[in-house]
Amino acid sequence: MKAAVAIVTVVVFASVPLWLRDPYLMNALITTGIFIVGAMSLNLLLGFTGQLSLGHIAFFGIGAYVSALTSLGFDAGLPFGFRIVHDPWPPVAGLGLAIVIAGLCGYFVGLLSFRVRGAYFVIVTISFAEVVRLVALNWVELTQGPLALTNIPSITIGLPGVGDLVLRTKLQNYYLVLAVAVAAYILISRLVHSHFGRAMRGLMENESLAVSVGIDVTKTLTLAAVISAAIAGAAGSLYAHYIRIIDPEVFAFINTVTMVIMVITGGKGSLAGPVVGGMIFGLLPVLLRPIMAPEAQWIAYGGVLIVILFVLPRGIVPSLAQRFARRRSRAKTVTPGVFSERDAEEHA
Amino acid sequence: MMALAAAALKIEQVAVRFGGLIALSDINVTVGEGEIVSLIGPNGAGKTTLFNIMTGFLHPSHGSVSYRGAVLNGMKPHQIADLGLIRTFQRTSVFPNDTVYDNLLIGLHRQGRVGVLEAMLGQPRARALERRLRERAGALVEWVGLESRAHDLAGSLSYGEQRLVGVALALAAEPSMLLLDEPVSGMNASETHTFVQLIRNIRDRGVTILLVEHDMPMVMSVSDRIVVLNYGRIIAEGVPDAIRNDPAVIEAYLGQGAARA
Amino acid sequence: MSEFLQHLINMLVLGGTYALLGIGLTLIFGIMNVVNFTHGVLYTFGAYIMFIVVHQLGFNFFLALPLAVVAGWLLGAAIELVLLRPLRGSDIDTTMLVMIGAWIAMQSGILWIWGGVAKAIATPFPDAPLVLGPVSVSWLRLFVLGAAALLIVATYLLINRTKLGCAMRATFQDQDTASLMGVNVDLIYTSTFAIGSSLAAAAGALLGPVYVVFPQMGDLAAVKAFAIVILGGLGNITGAVIGGFILALAEELGAGYVSSGYRDAMGFLIIIAVLIFKPTGLFARAERVG
């Protein structure tokens, strides 16, 4: 059942460029898609590991800057008189490096999360993102500061025998983002249904019990953070090469909040949640712009977050799933577990 | 009388202080392979503290704990679990928001190690391993007699059933030694009886068992040896009959008058 | 040397207002165990109240400060009653996220109503600073320091010498016992949040005229407040005061001798550094509030 829905969804999305001609909406869909990848990666930490990391945009932004700088080249001074010079590399190399470096940052956040739990962890992650933002803002020699990195090259795919395909048009980028989003979804889905996914879940539900059957807290949290950060970094890289201009505002806390609202509203701990939440909060601002000023919209979004937490705390997708399950259930109700056999067969 | 079995768990000169409070002192206990040993004592005697020491949830201020020669001091709980020492919990003994079946799948953590990359790429080895794990989980559910509740959320089960799930979880981790934390507390007579049978079956499969308990008849009927704690010290140790008649034990539980009675 | 003294003076002024921010949050975080993300918005709110009272209503500058404190008190009470009380007993994540939602909504509201352009607040003080030997300090800053000191003392007296304060301290130590002793825990929670919020508003009202007033000014203030709480220990008022001055000192020295761009990073760096090395904060959770 779930597989069928997924396939239909992908087909529907793939067919959109065939009938949608408005470039403004296309642009919105592309950036929404990128943010959905970011939201899916946040969901891995927030929904499947139970870590409220509010610095997630840092990984996205780091991915964006790493990718941009790798493909633009740079010449910057380091402490003690050293200089670091880098010649431009192809953008795909930037993508690869973005994934690696963002993942590395995720590693350190993961290590931290083991030492610092609960509310303090939230505060630390916010601080981490803000420090990164301030570095991007002030290390002007490297990042151009508020003047932004511009003319970032589009992603180029080398096709054997045909030549280089530069992904410059909206159409091309749309399919690139769609492909990456689908890939990310599959990867995360497989991860969640695996041995490692169960370790994450066990930790989230009952840490002492999980530990007593041999689940290593540090390793699990760290690995989850690495994977989550790496995917966010990939999204950031896509963003940099699509928008082609990156400034420190990418690290603004409001962007983390956007992703959080997407995940919480859609349903944390569900695979489809970030997609649904992402579509809503990615497209709504665009659709509402003619009638509602952005500030007014944000008042509403803040309100929506509060209302969802009060009324539908599990989010839209799990609540709908529960309603479906209740309708066709027997006396013993079961919330479709993450690893029930039916799901496993579909995702195997 | 059992022949001298190889030592499984060895606790030597263990002492625990919390600031100025001495919770345990001068503790020396050896549990032999394949034995069922019970740890009893009045409330506040230090049983829970000692239990937490054995399972790595607390570190002793003094002394050492070793299992089959490996020193446990300073090890993290999951490392101790990796040695085959698995414990159960008295409260919160299950993963409440997962089905019984999924609970056991989590418990099979040590058996199903698959690289994260392998899992994400959907490699055949990963999938084959998954299938074997699911079979094992199914077998365990049957073994503890919970097939009818396999797909219910563990949190919705009765207290006694949750305890069974807790034990099944521990068994999933393939223990060579099982540490049970007040396993039958809150159970009625028939549930306790079933549980005793279960413990005996587990021991017959070669698992050493140590349990902390208050239920005297149960302890007397299932244990090979009993260790009695009071005020953080061992006041008696021996076979159930000896303990039953030991004046120090009687005094600890019933007060000074009872010993003379 | 005179430059150092100048930094010291600035540090005292800044530290006093930071202390107010920190005390407010440590009370809320300590007594209610709520990660109060609206603290920064209350700070902004206090500054805007000053702006409204002085520029839009044309009232006396010195009247504006008490009004800001009262307004902060009322807003804080409203937030607690509407958002926090129904969530009592939920997990800390849910409460945190609700606070974030409230923060976004309120800050966007301020942005919507007054726009994003920074505003300056006119003060009745003479422009020429007071010169004391090698250092000079503006009359405004002196006033800020004095007002902050007054409020700190008032809070200290409230917590340690009044019945309400006694009830708050009891609730901090053991909520259940306190309620068994007849303490109305609901009332305490609302009062705590209201008082904490009013202190944040006071800090904003005092620093608003010193710098400028703009909708996002509370974001940094919020993080600094958390840094101060982590430095000083949950529920520890004295710790919050000390923490406020430490942060101000770090910022002044950092800005003066390292780079002014990274001034605001000090708060974050302190948080990260302290929590890496001492995950439970510099001081253990206070034995008692006060």
Q: Give pLDDT, residue C284.
A: 54
Examine the domain organization and report whether B181 and B261 are in the same domain.
Answer: yes
* Per-residue pLDDT at B113 exceeds 70: yes
CATH number of the domain encompassing residue C245: 1.10.3470
Examine the domain organization and report whether B188 and B59 are in the same domain.
Answer: yes
Whether A119 sits inside 8 A of C104 (CB atoms) is: no
Q: Do chains C and B touch (3 or more CB pairs under 8 A)?
A: no
Tell whether ipTM is more than 0.85.
Answer: yes
Q: Give pLDDT, residue A299.
A: 92
Helix H, strand E, coil C: the string for B103-167 is HHHHHHHHCCCCCHHHHHHCCHHHHHHHHHHHHHHHHHHHHCCCHHHCCCEHHHCCHHHHHHHHH
Q: Are A89 and A70 in contact (CB under 8 A)?
A: yes
Residue C129 counted as domain residue: no
Q: Give pLDDT, residue A108.
A: 87
CATH number of the domain encompassing residue B211: 3.40.50.300
Task: Please give the mean pLDDT across all residues of chain B.
Answer: 86
> Which parts of chain A sit beneath pLDDT 50?
330-348
Cβ contacts from A onto C, under 8 A: 118
Whether C104 sits inside 8 A of A293 (CB atoms) is: no
Chain centre to alpha carbon of residue C79: 16
Structural domain that includes position B214: 1-84+176-261
Chains that touch C (3 or more CB pairs under 8 A): A
Q: Which residue of A has its CA nearest to C86?
A: A310
Residues of B within 8 A of A334 (CB-CB) are: 99, 151-153
Structural domain that includes position A163: 2-347
Digit-coded pLDDT (tens) for C42-90: 999 999 999 999 888 888 888 888 999 999 999 999 999 999 999 887 8
* Per-residue pLDDT at B115 exceeds 80: no
Provide the chain C residues 147-206 that lie in CB contact (below 8 A) with chain A.
none
- A101 vs B251: which has the higher pLDDT: A101
* Other CB atoms within 10 A of residue B141 CB: 24
Reported confidence tier of residue B105, pLDDT bands at 50, 70, 90: very high
Q: Give pLDDT, residue C285.
A: 52
Task: Give the contacts of A314 (CB within 8 A, at least 6 positions apart).
Answer: A267, A268, A269, A322
Q: Are B176 and B207 in contact (CB under 8 A)?
A: yes
Give which of A237, A335, A323, A286 is closest to A29, Cα–Cα. Answer: A286
Least confident of A321-330, C106-115, C146-155: A321-330
Q: Provide the number of structural domains found in chain B.
A: 2
Q: Are B173 and B85 in contact (CB under 8 A)?
A: no
Chains that touch B (3 or more CB pairs under 8 A): A
Q: Give pLDDT, residue C147.
A: 92
Structural domain that includes position C46: 2-114+134-277
Sign of the alpha-carbon dihedral angle for A87, A92, A95, A101: negative
Examine the domain organization and report whether B157 and B181 are in the same domain.
Answer: no
Residue C236 counted as domain residue: yes
Q: Provide the number of structural domains found in chain C.
A: 1
Digit-coded pLDDT (tens) for B149-182: 888 898 898 888 888 899 999 999 999 999 999 9
Q: Give pLDDT, residue B177.
A: 93
Examine the domain organization and report whether B182 and B170 are in the same domain.
Answer: no
Examine the domain organization and report whether B58 and B132 are in the same domain.
Answer: no
Q: Give pLDDT, residue B256.
A: 55
Examine the domain organization and report whether B33 and B151 are in the same domain.
Answer: no
Q: Which of B82, B94, B127 sits opposite A348 (nearest CB)?
A: B127
3-class secondary-structure state, position A183: helix
Q: Which of A191, A334, A341 sits opposite B116 (nearest CB)?
A: A191
Whether B173 sits inside 8 A of A211 (CB atoms) is: no
**Mean of pLDDT values over B222-246:** 89
Q: Where are the alpha helices (DSSP H) in chain C?
A: 2-27, 39-51, 61-79, 92-114, 139-161, 163-173, 175-180, 185-207, 217-232, 237-257, 265-277
Q: Which of A116, A137, A309 sits opposite C94 (nearest CB)?
A: A309
Residues of B within 8 A of A48 (CB-CB) are: none
Compute the nearest-CA separation of C82 from chain A (Å).
Answer: 11
Q: Provide the number of structural domains found in chain A.
A: 1
* Per-residue pLDDT at C30 exceeds 90: no
Digit-coded pLDDT (tens) for C160-169: 888 888 888 8
Q: Do chains B and A touch (3 or more CB pairs under 8 A)?
A: yes
Structure tokens at C146: 């004095």
Q: Give pLDDT, residue B44.
A: 80
Least confident of A117-126, C4-13, C138-147, C276-285: C276-285
Q: Give pLDDT, residue A2.
A: 74
Whether A302 sits inside 8 A of C106 (CB atoms) is: yes
Q: What are phi and psi of B66, to 5 degrees?
A: -135, 150
